[in-house]
Amino acid sequence: MTCRAVGPGFGAEVQGIGLADVVASDDAYAAVRTAFEEHSVLLFRDQDVTDQLQLAFSRRFGPLESPTPGTLAESSFFTVLTNVDPATGALMAPDHKESLRAKANQLWHTDSSFKQTPALTSILSARAIPPTGGETEFASTRLAWDRLPAARRAQLADAFAWHSYAHSRGKIAPHLASEREKSSLPPARWRMRWRNPVNGRDALYVASHTYAIDGMNDADAQSFIDELIAFTTMPGCTFEHRWRAGDVIMWDNRAVLHRGRPWPPDAPRHMVRTTVAATDLDGLAEMHGRALTSPASAGSSRRPSPPATRTSP
Ligand SMILES: O=C(O)CCC(=O)C(=O)O
Ligand SMILES: [Fe+2]
């Protein structure tokens, strides 16, 4: 197996090993796992992807996550991102819920930071690719961490932020997250630094879903979050993947931000994602931190209650 660099200091194309090899061989899995920990984004080209192969490959990396409530194919392990109506084959209108979801995915984010268990890795395969646009862009939160001034790193290492699905969806349309989706996805609180236990590398943990920081007022927190995302994704620090038939990409949600790029609404685009939940082996335990205690509950270990979300844009 060889790795060819594809991004600015992160990201690699894996050559000589494909998805089926990882399913069939422990050695192939170990080699790809090592590359994943190192490069954060792995591209596999010319794969004969089926749902079953993608699922079996994904399972190698840990427990599969169920898709977010309200998404297509919700009851499977597949997150289907498409503008083709599965019932009629027609293209969806720009104001269709799925088109709005695509717009939300065009904000810089890490997958599932708003869930009670965040994602380790997402595996995305292209099934229909528009002639122009529709790229996926990545930025390394690990390299961003390293670029931050030391005083900032010290501040962030012990800072905790709140992530909410309603918040990021609310940036696109006020009611994009339904009441059912909101109630099944209460805000989640995570440390703002994710340390990879395999190599000790730290990464900034912040996303479009982040809406509050403990100890900071809302307005200051939101501008700080925006500043950190802009710093991470500044020109020269990202790379855009232009999809080709047979491409599969996996990324480390602990160490990169990603976003979809727009494409002409009259062109079909159909992507299938599987998502692997993070475990303590992936550094999750440290992300919870200690629960805050209020005077009324001093000594108890209850989780802190989330600050209110603002869901309007
Ligand atoms: O559509 C894309 O390129 C990105 C979609 C996305 O954010 C995801 O699959 O997690
Ligand atoms: Fe995503």
167-209 tens-digit pLDDT:
999 999 988 999 898 999 999 999 999 999 999 999 999 999 9
Which pLDDT does position 132 carry in this prediction? Answer: 98
| Contacts for 21 with CB less than 8 Å, ≥ 6 apart | 28
Q: How far is the CA of 133 from the centre of ligand 1 (A)?
A: 13
Which pLDDT does position 206 carry in this prediction? Answer: 98
231-255 tens-digit pLDDT:
999 999 999 999 999 999 999 999 9
Query: Taking a C-beta distance cutoff of 8 angstroms, is the pair 309, 167 a contact?
Result: yes
Local confidence band at 298 (pLDDT 50, 70, 90 cut-offs): very low
- Can you give the three-state secondary structure of 267-294, one letter per residue? CCCEEEEEEEECCHHHCHHHHHCCCCCC
Tell me the C-alpha distance between 167 and 189, whole Å. 14
Ligand 1 pocket: which of 41, 125, 258 to mutate (most atoms within 8 A of CB): 258
Please give the model's pTM, rounded to 2 decimal places. 0.93
Average pLDDT across the chain, whole number: 92
Residue 92 has pLDDT above 60, yes or no: yes
Residue 313 has pLDDT above 60, yes or no: no
Tell me the C-alpha distance between 55 and 273, whole Å. 9
Q: How far is the CA of 58 from the centre of ligand 1 (A)?
A: 16
CATH tag for 2-287 (out of 3.40.50.300, 3.20.20.60, 3.60.130.10, 3.40.50.970): 3.60.130.10
Ligand 1 pocket: which of 81, 107, 138, 257 to mutate (most atoms within 8 A of CB): 81
> Domain coordinates of the chain in residue numbers?
2-287
Which pLDDT does position 71 carry in this prediction? Answer: 76
Which pLDDT does position 303 carry in this prediction? Answer: 54
Residue whose CA lies nearest to ligand 1 atom number 10: 111
Residues with a CB atom less than 6 Å from ligand 1: 81, 105, 111, 122, 124, 136, 258, 260, 271, 273
99-158 tens-digit pLDDT:
999 999 999 999 999 999 999 999 999 999 999 999 999 999 999 999 999 999 999 999
Local confidence band at 308 (pLDDT 50, 70, 90 cut-offs): confident
Strand-by-strand arrangement of the 270-277 sheet: 2-5, 12-15, 41-44, 248-252, 119-128, 270-277, 79-82
Question: What atom in ligand 1 is closest to the CA of residue 136?
Answer: 3
Which pLDDT does position 279 carry in this prediction? Answer: 97
Alpha helices in the chain, H assignment, sequence order: 19-24, 26-39, 51-59, 97-104, 141-147, 150-157, 165-170, 179-184, 218-232, 284-288
Residue whose CA lies nearest to ligand 1 atom number 6: 105
Residue whose CA lies nearest to ligand 1 atom number 2: 260
Question: What atom in ligand 1 is closest to the CA of residue 81?
Answer: 1
Ligand 1 pocket: which of 41, 98, 105, 244 to mutate (most atoms within 8 A of CB): 105
Q: How far is the CA of 260 from the centre of ligand 1 (A)?
A: 5
Local confidence band at 296 (pLDDT 50, 70, 90 cut-offs): very low
Residue 270 has pLDDT above 70, yes or no: yes
Q: How far is the CA of 163 from the centre of ligand 2 (A)?
A: 14
Judged by average pLDDT, the poorest of 64-68, 94-98, 210-214 is 64-68
